[in-house]
Amino acid sequence: MEARKVIIIGTGPAGLTAAIYNARADLKPLVLEGHEPGGQLTLTTEVENFPGFASGVMGPELMGNMKQQAAKFGAEFLPVMCTEADLSKRPFVIKASNGQTYTAEAVIISTGASAKFLGLPHEKELTGRGVSTCATCDGFFYRDKIVHVVGGGDTAMEDATFITKFAKKVYLVHRKDTLRASKPMQERAFNNPKIEFIWDTAITEIKHSEAGVTGVVVENLKTGDKQERPTDGLFYAIGHTPNTKFLNGQLKTNEEGYLITTNDVETNIPGVFACGDVQDTYYRQAITAAGSGCQAAIKAERFLEGH
């Protein structure tokens, strides 16, 4: 069993920022990259709202740079998942998908939350070319375009409303004829002349060319009628799944499985910290994730000094 001071699990902006800080503090963190190295930003194209990049930066490039920066200061990366964690006592025991077991005096969990997809053919390869799971990130690219948004919760209302700042028309496709979203968010969407609701409807196919999404096939779930609709963009707003299963209930979560933190990044187990989307259901931005990664790293460093 290899002994480490800090193990960081997950490599989105939160985990990589934590790695930069802990590496610069000479803690030589071991970083388990997870199932989606670089996190959700690797699924997007241009990032225009990350401070410091006046001309924007490609998501994968930004994450690649963060990784390089952490590695330069001595963070060690492993392209593995954490399969099991025993957090019942210190040192904590972390099992990785390469069959190795490690111990750590402090653990930082930054495994993120994965956007849910519909499961349609080609949707993953079209992400960044018409399919998006992040309106804040990609809405801007749909100026004067037609967009379809899927979902009936607050995110769908918020996303559809946000995208109308740019798009000429937003169709909100929902599988029921009532919304789960809160009343004020519903009202805002109902009152927006650019938003049109398509009720009781599922998207069954994505039409595309080399350049990206060109349309969707929708099916009315009550009548069975099918229709092909042209669209430039398809935004998924059907929820996220926090990546916390591997913790087997050892840390406190809310009903949906997001880790509950106090004092910003502390979990209910001293020495185990959480940052980024795995504990944030509200902001979900790269910059807020990076900020909380910094907090987790500083908290871990001070925890180790005190123990």
Which contiguous run of DSSP H or E holds residue 207? Answer: strand 201-208
Q: Return the range that interacts with ligand NDP (CB under 6 A); candidates 144-152, 161-169, 269-277, 297-305.
A: 144-152
Cα 300 from Cα 307, distance rounded (Å): 11
Which residue is at the shortest CB distance from ligand NDP?
A: 153
Give the chain's largest Cα–Cα span: 65
Minimum CB distance to ligand NDP smaller for 180 or for 194: 180
Helix 286-306, helix 13-24: angle, nearest 10: 40
Judge whether 82 counts as a catalytic residue.
no
* Cα Rg of the chain (Å, integer): 21
* Candidates 26, 82, 86, 134; catalytic one: 134
Q: Cβ of residue 148: shortest distance to ligand NDP, in angstroms? A: 12
Q: Cβ of residue 258: shortest distance to ligand NDP, in angstroms? A: 10
Judge whether 144 counts as a catalytic residue.
no
- The separation between CA 116 and the C-alpha centre of its own chain, rounded to angstroms, equals 10
Q: Cβ of residue 64: shortest distance to ligand NDP, in angstroms? A: 28
Size of interface with ligand NDP, in residues (CB under 6 A): 17
What's the Cα-to-Cα distance from 252 to each of 5, 106, 107, 262, rounded to whole Å?
Answer: 23, 17, 15, 11
Contact 241, 116 (CB under 8 A): yes
Query: Residue 110: phi, psi to the nearest 5?
Result: -140, 50
Q: Return the range that interacts with ligand NDP (CB under 6 A); candidates 45-53, 97-105, 106-114, 145-153.
A: 145-153
Minimum CB distance to ligand NDP smaller for 11 or for 244: 244
Cα 242 from Cα 74, distance rounded (Å): 29
* Candidates 26, 82, 86, 137; catalytic one: 137
Q: Cβ of residue 129: shortest distance to ligand NDP, in angstroms? A: 21
Q: Write the DSSP string, 11-29.
A: -SHHHHHHHHHHHHTT---
Contact 18, 278 (CB under 8 A): no
What part of residues 211-250 is at the interface with ligand NDP (CB under 6 A)?
237-239
Q: Taking CB under 6 A as the rule, does residue 139 contact ligand NDP?
A: no
Cα 39 from Cα 14, distance rounded (Å): 9
Q: Cβ of residue 238: shortest distance to ligand NDP, in angstroms? A: 4
Judge whether 159 counts as a catalytic residue.
no
What part of residues 112-131 is at the interface with ligand NDP (CB under 6 A)?
116, 118
* Candidates 26, 86, 138, 144; catalytic one: 138
User: What residues pair up with 113 in beta bridges, in sequence order?
Assistant: 242
Q: Taking CB under 6 A as the rule, does residue 155 contact ligand NDP?
A: yes
Q: Cβ of residue 286: shortest distance to ligand NDP, in angstroms? A: 17
Catalytic residues: 134, 137-138
Which residues here bind ligand NDP, judged by CB under 6 A? 116, 118, 150-156, 158, 175-176, 180, 237-239, 281
